[in-house]
Structure 1
Amino acid sequence: MNGKWVSHDVRDAVVDYVNHWKQRAELPAKRILAWIGLYESTFYKWCRSYGKTYDHNGAIPRDHWLEDWERDAIVRFHFKHPLEGYRRLTYMMLDADIVAVSPATVYRVLSKADLLGRKTSKTKTKGMGFNQPAAPHRHWHVDVSHLNICGTFYYMTSVIDGYSRAVVHWEIREQMKELDIETILQRAKEMHPGVKPQIITDNGPQFISNDFKQFIRISGMTHVRTSPYYPQSNGKIERYHRTIKSECIRPKTPLSLGDAQRTVSDFVRTYNHERLHSAIGYVTPADMLAGRAASIHAARDQKLADARTRRGNARRAAREGQSATYTGDARPEDKALLRSNLSAAPGA
């Protein structure tokens, strides 16, 4: 009998039987329960529920659970932005006031709809000793990348702020010598007067020349070169160049240098002012650079709290409206059925 489901009639009969023989034979209930093979905990639980029928035993929705229209909105938004991860989707929906949910909730909804792909990753510890900048324009990451435009190779140099991940400046040229790098850095400094960042580069020939060292010293900046044959040590700019090639250059397929410059310019504008960056808390680099990240995070937290409160108030109001239909002699199973129907009703 232990561990098996029994009806409330059998349960009450067992309680009556044990109580009867406990008084009749003056034996402790423990001994009688051992004879019939029933746990004491089960018996006393049946005593507490004596005379009661089994109530609703299913999963009762909590007040903060999602409503059906919210699940549909999450799925629709995923189809509008199929290339975005679930975390970026979460904060995009928060900022656009579509649905106020947490990343874990979006993950569960998309996973249940079989809309998530599997990703495998390994934990890497190399390079974890690098101290991240605490303010904008402390670190500028610089690198040169090759672009294939209609069979002709060009050079693109980008300058990334290490704190905000904002693209400070970029240029595409037919050649990229040491003088070209100096010109690009000087134009970047003119856009942000008074800053003296630390320039982080690899060991390319443009960055190890004596003329470049003199330029860094005269301009008031400092220069650090990464470990040889280890591009991950300058991973911020490497990742950006990988992103701009996979999301801009290759899909758009520019046909000329001017076309490539216009395409990259549009992408950089979107990257800095619209695209949410995962490494800085899913805000745009422009917001991070301007110091608006804390207020954006606070506004998102408030939206999540308001959404939970709204769902709770709606469900409580619905329950209070349905409670008037209960009569004094209503059976518990009828109440359980009414609660089940209420939780399954649209908009509940």
Structure 2
Amino acid sequence: MAERYIQQGYPKRLVLRFARIPRSTYYYHKKQEGQQVESVKSEGRAIPGYSLKQDGTKVSDEQVKEWLLEGIEGEVYAYGYRKLTLFLRRTHGLCIDKKKVYRLCKEMAILRSQRQKQTFYRKKLARNCIITGSNQLFETDIKYGYIAGEDRFFFIQSVLDVYDRSVIAYPCEAKDASRTVQQALFKRQLFELDARPVLRSDNGPQFTAHHFTQACEALGIVHERISPRTPNMNAHIEAFHRILEDECLARYEFLSYTEAYQVVSECIRFYNERRIHSSICDLATQEFYVVLTERKFAIKEVRV
């Protein structure tokens, strides 16, 4: 039926639309039947080869190209095709659009390279929540110490469980923050579980980097960042770093990185294995975590 109307001279596009026949289907069957497929691509009007000035004078495309070359060799070197269009209009009085300028610039290979579009990752702000067990919310931050013998600083990135107060991972380097998070998940054996903890951090450059955001997505954890000037929303890791400063970093004058690493590691082991914490029933963090997992012992919920 549709073919009959097309043969009678009705517009092919209109007939196919009323018949609800996709054009691709129509041309596919025409090709299968061995008939010649008519081109649906419009050839467009021929290129006139000139442009008009405001007074109606014709200017050849070759002259326009010369003006473009003179312009980019002079003051408008940094212009793209859109600004070059304005340049031709204002300087030479041409009635020309940006599409034609783009075509002429492309023919002369003088188009400026486009800037790469940057991908911005949406920031997830930390919200007040209630924690009722371990492995629900991790906090991470970076603390720095000073090595007097080498006259340089070293960095400690800590990952702390908000509920049981355990410092799960604490490398004395901050080169790859995502690796520390991966180490924390491995120590808690969370890779086999579907529910992963939420990771909370401040807005430091290590945590706002695209690489860290992509790593968190690959690990299947939600990364949230606190609002600027609100350290109280990262209070537990801040409190631990205060303890680390008072009980370790301020008491020693390190002569080498090896010494600093050993002393800090021993201090954190003491914090996890033997230090009494009043907020978790006067137990050490690892002791409380074992009791919590074995006996279903719990403290009151933690509001953060």
- TM-score, normalising length: structure 2: 0.51
SS of 1:212 mapped into structure 2: helix
SS of 1:206 mapped into structure 2: helix
SS of 2:286 mapped into structure 1: helix
Query: What is the CA–CA distance in structure 2 between the aligned matches of 1:260 and 1:202, rounded to whole Å?
Result: 25
Which residues of structure 2 form unaligned runs of 5+? Answer: 1-126, 298-304
**What letter matches 2:247 in structure 1?**
E
Which residue number in structure 2 is paired with residue 145 of structure 1? 143
Q: 1:272·1:284 contact (CA, 8 Å) conserved in 2?
A: yes
Which residue number in structure 2 is paired with residue 134 of structure 1? 132
Query: What is the CA–CA distance in structure 1 between the aligned matches of 2:161 and 2:279, rounded to whole Å?
Result: 13
Say yes or no: does 1:242 pair with 2:238.
no
Query: What is the CA–CA distance in structure 1 between the aligned matches of 2:169 and 2:273, rounded to whole Å?
Result: 14
| Cα drift, residue 158 of structure 1 | 0.5
**What letter matches 2:284 in structure 1?**
T
| Cα drift, residue 293 of structure 1 | 9.7
Query: What is the CA–CA distance in structure 1 between the aligned matches of 2:240 and 2:206, rounded to whole Å?
Result: 20
CA 1:252–1:197: 2 relative to 1, 3 Å: same
| Cα drift, residue 201 of structure 1 | 0.1
Query: What is the CA–CA distance in structure 2 between the aligned matches of 1:190 and 1:206, rounded to whole Å?
Result: 21
Q: 2:159·2:168 contact (CA, 8 Å) conserved in 1?
A: yes
Task: Calculate percent identity across the aligned residue pairs.
Answer: 29
Say yes or no: does 1:193 pair with 2:189.
yes
| Cα drift, residue 257 of structure 1 | 0.9
Cα deviations by residue, 1:240-288 (Å, 9 ceiling, x for unpaired): 1111111012113222111111111111111111111122222111122
SS of 1:171 mapped into structure 2: coil
Q: 1:283·1:293 contact (CA, 8 Å) conserved in 2?
A: no
**Which of these two proteins has the greater Rg computed from alpha carbons?**
2
Query: What is the CA–CA distance in structure 1 between the aligned matches of 2:257 and 2:270, rounded to whole Å?
Result: 20
Higher strand share: 2
| Cα drift, residue 229 of structure 1 | 1.2
Which residue number in structure 1 is paired with residue 213 of structure 2? 213
Say yes or no: does 1:290 pair with 2:290.
yes
Runs of 4+ in 1 over 4 A off after TM superposition: 292-295
Query: What is the CA–CA distance in structure 2 between the aligned matches of 1:132 and 1:255, rounded to whole Å?
Result: 43
| Cα drift, residue 208 of structure 1 | 1.6
SS of 2:200 mapped into structure 1: strand
CA 1:132–1:282: 2 relative to 1, 3 Å: farther
Q: 1:287·1:293 contact (CA, 8 Å) conserved in 2?
A: no
Query: What is the CA–CA distance in structure 2 between the aligned matches of 1:237 and 1:257, rounded to whole Å?
Result: 23
Which residues of structure 1 form unaligned runs of 5+? Answer: 1-128, 298-348
> For this pair of structures, how many residues does the alignment match?
166
Which residue number in structure 1 is paired with residue 273 of structure 2? 273
| Cα drift, residue 143 of structure 1 | 0.3
What value does the CA root-mean-square deviation take over the aligned residues? 2.4
Query: What is the CA–CA distance in structure 2 between the aligned matches of 1:244 and 1:132, rounded to whole Å?
Result: 26
- TM-score, normalising length: structure 1: 0.44
